[in-house]
Amino acid sequence: MSNNQVRFPVKAVATFSKTLGSYSQKLDECLNNMDNAIKALGNDWKDPKFTEFEREFKVCKDRLKPLSEELVRVKKHAEDVWTPIIQEYFKHQI
């Protein structure tokens, strides 16, 4: 392949994009499960230290949420920007 040839695996990018969406969805599900687990723990843990623990846990959980949002952003960018640009490029190649 010469330096001027470009190979862009459109199907692979589409698969990768779907994978990013799946990761985001799974991460959101995990975050919701963590919320439910903390609520259940709070039903049994009845002292002031629980509130401290819950607050610290929420800080950790809140650090993960932007990752899910970023995965969705990258997925959308790949689908809406790069894939159409490359597809258009290949339409005009001989």
* Whether the model pTM is above 0.75: no
50 vs 86 pLDDT, higher one: 50
**Whose structure tokens read 């190979």?**
7
Hey, what domains does the chain have and what are their CATH numbers? 10-86 (1.10.287.1060)
User: Is pLDDT at 87 greater than 70 in this prediction?
Assistant: yes
pLDDT in tens, 53-80: 999 999 999 998 999 899 999 988 888 8
Dig out the tokens for 94 from the structure. 């001989």
Helices (H), 8-91: 10-44, 48-77, 83-91
- CA dist 52 and 38 (Å) reads 12
